Structure formats: structure tokens, C-alpha cells
Structure 1
Amino acid sequence: MQPLFLHPRDLDLTAPHLFWSAPPDAALIDSLASLGQVTPALAIVTEGRPILAAGSRRAAALREMRGKTLAAVALDPDDPETELAGVPLELRLGLYYLASNQGRAVTDAMAVAAGRYFAAAGGPEAFGRLAAPRLFAPGDRRERLVAQWLALPPALDGLLASGNLPLGAAGRLAALDRESLLALTPLLQALRWSRANLDNALTWLTEAAALAGEGLPAVLGRSGALGLPGRGLSPNDLCAGVLAALRRVRYPAITTLEARFSALGRAVTPRGSKVRLTPSQGFEADTVTVTATAASPQELARVAADIAAMAAAPELPRLLTVARATDGEEPA
């Protein structure tokens, strides 16, 4: 390997194969200023100017130090003794960069960024054949999830990096058509979605669309969920509101009954009571389950008094038969 001394400003530090490149931090700058460069960068010398294969953060830091050069080792891209013989230069650069970052903790967003590069340089199979073995241990499920994610628009990659979307949702999102993804984007941007919440939301939307014979964007539009992000709600309240709106569009009858039961339950239950009322599953029976907690005889006596008062409440008969109320009846 031939040693090189390169002028940092002569190098392209934004080349696509430097897919994990980031600005140098203060610790690196201080180390270079006090100790000098202790680890060489990697470069490939072609007929044109040298191509930086790895070491972009060091090069960026040295650009700000007058008179400093970047120490690098020249790699031979045509070395017949390596397994890269015959591999196009773009893919070799990506592999050199991965090798130089071996042992680095790779986030989901970083894995997708690498996948984007290899898929663009060598087609979809290049990621699985060349990059994945260097990114994941055998059997790591993230390899499959990243491959699914690569079918999504690159515009969603930023939501993965920000934590708005989980990699585990790749399959569900990839199954949606472009119009549906576009319609969902405001909600995807507004919340930090767990995989379970996103699975539920997409299930409710797709099932409601199928039942109504409509497209997902139309169902989403009439759910009211798209109007919630601009209301200044807390993250928890916004998440709860969006999920409630999407569940309501899928289960309008059951959510209406739940609202009626909740309103009547508040009317029946004394203020501050520890007694809780729960309807039968699916409102299939004219019954309620009564639960309460007590930590002392006095609290138990209070619970008993509350239950007695609830038994005498005039709203109780309506609560017990809420599923049989007429559609025009308003909850108390």
C-alpha cells in the first residue's frame, strides 16, 4: 500500500459512497490539533484526482487547519488477489467504506443509507450480496427489513432517522400504494410511531377502506385524524387522538357505544370514587363489571357506599341497556 499526502480541499467529501459521513466533532478536532493524525485515511488513485474512500471526518477537520495535509493509504482497485476483482468501482468504494467502519454500531437509519447506495450503484441484489454480510450477523432480521424498506420512497428515510418510524414497519408501509403513503405522510411526520400503533392504524384504515369500497386516502380524509396535528396537543394526547379517530372510522358502531357508556358511567359514578365500570365485551350483554380498590376498612366502606349510590342512580338502567338505545338517543 502506497502512502499519500493529500490536500484536504482537493477531495470530494460529499461523494455518495461516504454514506455515513458527518461533520467532525470537537474531540476529533482537538485530537488532530494536539496529537496530529494517528490513523491514515483510505484513497484510490485513478486517472483523475484521488478519490477519498474513507476518512471524510478527518479530512473535513484538517481543512480548517492551515497547512495541514491528510495522510492516506492508496488502495489498488484492480488488485487481482482480492475478492473485489471485477467488481465495479462504485461498489468497491462502498465496500471499502464499510470495511473502514467495521465494528461501528450501525443504526437502522445507517443500514438503510448503506442499502440505498448499494442498490443505486448495483441494483437491489447488490445490497443483499455485498453489503448485508458486512452489516449484519447471520440470521439478523434487520437484513430483511432493510431490504423491504428500500422499496419505500427515500423521502421516508429521514423519518426513520428521526425516530418517527420504526424499521419494523417496513413491510406494512411497503405494501401501501404511492397515493396512500402520500396521504399518510402528515401523520407519519407528526408522531413517533411504535410498530404496534402503526400496525393498528394501518389495519383499521385498510379494513375500513375495503368495507367502504374506497381508497385509503378517502377514508383517512374523513376520519378527522389529519386535522389533529395542528391543534397544539401534547405528543401523548395527539397519539391518542389520532388512534381514536382511525379506530372510530373502522368501528363506528362500537366506538359510539363506548362514548355513550363512558358518558353514562360518569353520570352514575360519584365524583372521586375508586369504583370503575366496564361493559360486557362487545356490548353483547346487558351487564357491567364493577371493580374497585381499597386499602383499609374505611376505604372499603366508602366503596360500598359508592356502589349503593350507583345502584340508585336514575341513569343506571340506561347504562345497563346502552347497546339497545336508539340511534337518535344522546348520551347523558
Structure 2
Amino acid sequence: MQPLFLHPRDLDIAAPHLFWAAPPDDALLESLATLGQTTPALVVETGGRPILAAGSRRAAALRERRGTALCALAVSLDGPPDADEADDRDAAITPAVRLGLFYLASNLGRTVTDAMAVAAGRYFAAESSSIDDALRLAGPYLFAPDDRRGRLLAQWLALPPTLDALLASGHVPLGSAGLLAALPPETLDALLPLLSSVRWSRGSLSGALTWLGEAARLAGEPAGVLLARSGATELLGRGLSPNDLTAGVLAALRRLRYPALTTLEARFTALSRELARGSRVKVKPSQGFESDAVTLEITVKSPDELAKAAADIAAMAFSPVLPKLLTVAHDDGPGSEPDAGPGAGPDGGPTA
């Protein structure tokens, strides 16, 4: 096979099948300057302008080196020369799909991130009759046979492409594909400001969506309407740290699902701080506020600290705050019991 020498500016380095194309990094530039081009690009000869099948970073780098040609090898879009060896389905592979496969094959051994897998999946899905067909062709180049990301990728490709940027930026993980795919389009649209502002784990997003969905079912209102009332989106412009923003958004959505329980928690927190002020004692409520009892916890490192804690506990027995704390679940009268509902765990969160 004879190499071809082409002017790199004669080639399209941003064609759709070059779905991982990126500017050349310093390591590649240094290698080209020191050793020259050591790996040929792949091109398809068309009788006119050649099609770059692989090697976009090399071509982009050589564009900046005046007078330097790109060394390339020609490949064919006609498929295997022996048709008897080709699977019937593979014999019908379109030129666009074959270009994508050439590109994947040239990148074998490269670490494929979730965002890269989605970019490849989008290309093949657009050029195939179904997502299953697309992954049958591209999957072996992207994942090991037992890699569960193949299943997650299929779920993600059912989502709007606008979400791909959130995956690439690290705001939403590939593992959340099934959760997001189960949402009605209007709910997904309403959630976009939160999805693009908080860095979600699959667990935190699962909890948030569970609370929002259950609150909407109990209220008989659209999830987007409840979300607008929750106060979660109002936190986005306050300049909070990433951790504080995540905690605030989750608290707002949990409060939406469990208003009575979160009100009790807030009241208990305020009273317990007042009761234990100046001491090492931690005051905790009964599970789910199911009984009029509290648990006192102390950590001591010396006899003196233990004596001090004992004195503090003795003083708490005479505090006017203690009776309020013990009956905190009764302060609102009838209907103030902690929230319950489908999926509720003992702490007011979703069950596993």
C-alpha cells in the first residue's frame, strides 16, 4: 500500500464522523517537531477532494507547519474484498457508518470516557436504523463485552442531545440515564436549570427525583409547578459553594415531599441547640419522631470532661426547653404527624 502525501488544508478535519476531534496537544506538537509524523492518517480517495477518515489531530497540527505534508494511507468504503466472509448486515453498511468504524478502529486502545461514548453513539444512531443496530456496530470498539456502560449508553441515546453537554461537563453521570429517560419531557425541561448548576451523583439525583415525583403525585400537580414553588431554583443565583448549593437544593426538594417532617426537624434542631448550648452533649430525636424521647450522646477524653458532661446533663433536666423538645411533634396539634407515603423510609427519605 503506497502512502499518499496531502496538503493538510485540503482535508476537512471537522467532519461528523471525526466525532472525537480535538485540537492537538503539546505532546503531539513536540513529537511532530522532534520525530516528524510517525503514524499515517487514513483517507478515502473519491476522485476529488479526499475524505479524512482518521488523523484529524495530526492534520490540524501539520496545518501550522508551513510546507509539511500529511502522510496518509488510502482505505476503501466498499467493505471486505471477500463478500462471502462478510455478515449480511455488514455488507449493507453505509459509507457514513464505515467512516465512523474506521475512525473508531484507529482509536483502539484509547481510554473512552462516558462523554466520548455518547458522542460516538449519537453519530452511529443517526446513521443506523435503530440504537440497537448502532451499538451492535460501534459497541465492540467502545466497551469490553461485560461493561455495563453499553446498556447505560443505550438509555442515554434515548434522551435529548441537549443533555450531552451536561454529561461532558460532569454535572450529570451516565448512570442517571435511566432516571432521566423515565421523566416526562415537561418535567425534564423544568429540571434543566438544576441539572446544569449542581454536580449530581446518581444517588443524589435519584433521591431528588423520587421526592419531586412523589410530591407531585400526592399534590395532584405537575412536577414543574411544584419545583417552581420549592425554592430550589432560587438558590442558583446566590453564589453558594458547590457543596452548599447541592445541600440546599436537596433540602428544598425533600421539604417539598416531607413538609411536616422537615418542619419538625428544623424546630428540633433549634431547640436542641438551645438546650445543649455550651456543652459537649449532642441531642438526637427518636426515629421519625415516633416517640416523645430524645437520645443524648457525649464524647469524652478524660474524667474531667465526663464530670462536666454529667453536670451539663443534670442542668438540662431543669431547663424549660426540655419539655418543648420532648413534645416537639405535638406542637402543631392534629395533622402534624411526620409525612408518610409510598417510598418513605424511617428518616423521611426514599427507601432503597
Scaled to the shorter chain, the TM-score interval is: over 0.9
Q: 1:191-210 to 2 correspondence within 5 Å?
A: 191-210=198-217
Offset at 1:128? 1.9
Q: 1:164-243 to 2 correspondence within 5 Å?
A: 164-243=171-250
Matches of 2:37 and 2:171 in 1, distance apart?
38
Question: 1:274 aligned to 280, 292, 297, which one?
Answer: 280
Matches of 2:137 and 2:268 in 1, distance apart?
58
Indicate the SS of the match to 2:237: helix
Indicate the SS of the match to 1:39: coil
1:141 aligns with 2:148: yes
* Conserved 8 A contact 1:3-1:74: yes
* Conserved 8 A contact 2:43-2:52: yes
Question: 1:154 aligned to 155, 161, 183, which one?
Answer: 161
Counterpart residue number, 1:108:
114
Indicate the SS of the match to 2:52: strand
Counterpart residue number, 1:303:
309
Offset at 1:138? 1.3
Please, what TM-score do these two structures have when normalized by structure 1? 0.96
Task: Please give the per-residue CA displacement for 1:275-328, whole angstroms capped at 9, x wherever unaligned.
Answer: 111111111100001111011111111111111121111010010011111269
Offset at 1:270? 2.3
Matches of 1:300 and 1:47 in 2, distance apart?
89
Indicate the SS of the match to 2:53: strand
1:32 aligns with 2:32: yes
* Conserved 8 A contact 1:111-1:146: yes
Counterpart residue number, 1:59:
59
Counterpart residue number, 2:338:
none
Task: Please give the per-residue CA displacement for 1:127-161, whole angstroms capped at 9, x wherever unaligned.
Answer: 22101122111121100001100111111111111
* Conserved 8 A contact 1:2-1:75: no
Aligned letter for 1:4?
L
Q: Note the residue ranges of structure 1 that are not aligned, 5 or more in a row.
A: none
Matches of 1:115 and 1:309 in 2, distance apart?
66
* Conserved 8 A contact 1:270-1:306: no
1:128 aligns with 2:129: no
Question: 1:326 aligned to 319, 322, 332, which one?
Answer: 332
Structure 1's 174 and 238: CA in aligned 2 closer, same or farther, altered over 3 A?
same
Matches of 2:297 and 2:35 in 1, distance apart?
69
Counterpart residue number, 1:9:
9
* Conserved 8 A contact 1:270-1:310: no
Question: 2:320 aligned to 293, 314, 321, which one?
Answer: 314
1:98 aligns with 2:100: no
Matches of 1:131 and 1:3 in 2, distance apart?
27
Could you tell which deviates more after superposition, 98-107 or 133-142?
A: 133-142
Matches of 2:185 and 2:69 in 1, distance apart?
48
Matches of 2:81 and 2:94 in 1, distance apart?
13
Task: Please give the per-residue CA displacement for 1:62-99, whole angstroms capped at 9, x wherever unaligned.
Answer: 00111111100001221423745431001001111110
Counterpart residue number, 2:347:
none
Offset at 1:263? 1.0
Could you tell which deviates more after superposition, 39-48 or 257-266?
A: 39-48
Matches of 1:255 and 1:176 in 2, distance apart?
26
* Conserved 8 A contact 2:283-2:296: yes
Please, what TM-score do these two structures have when normalized by structure 2? 0.90
4+ long deviations beyond 4 Å: none
Aligned letter for 2:307?
A
Matches of 1:279 and 1:305 in 2, distance apart?
21
* Conserved 8 A contact 2:268-2:328: yes
Indicate the SS of the match to 1:103: coil
Offset at 1:186? 0.7
Indicate the SS of the match to 1:190: coil
Indicate the SS of the match to 2:312: helix
Indicate the SS of the match to 2:171: coil
Percent of counterpart pairs with the same letter? 67
* Conserved 8 A contact 2:132-2:154: no
Could you tell which deviates more after superposition, 126-135 or 169-178?
A: 126-135
Matches of 1:270 and 1:217 in 2, distance apart?
41
Question: 1:87 aligned to 93, 104, 110, which one?
Answer: 93
What is the root-mean-square deviation of aligned Cα atoms in Å?
1.4
* Conserved 8 A contact 2:214-2:257: yes
Matches of 1:180 and 1:138 in 2, distance apart?
34
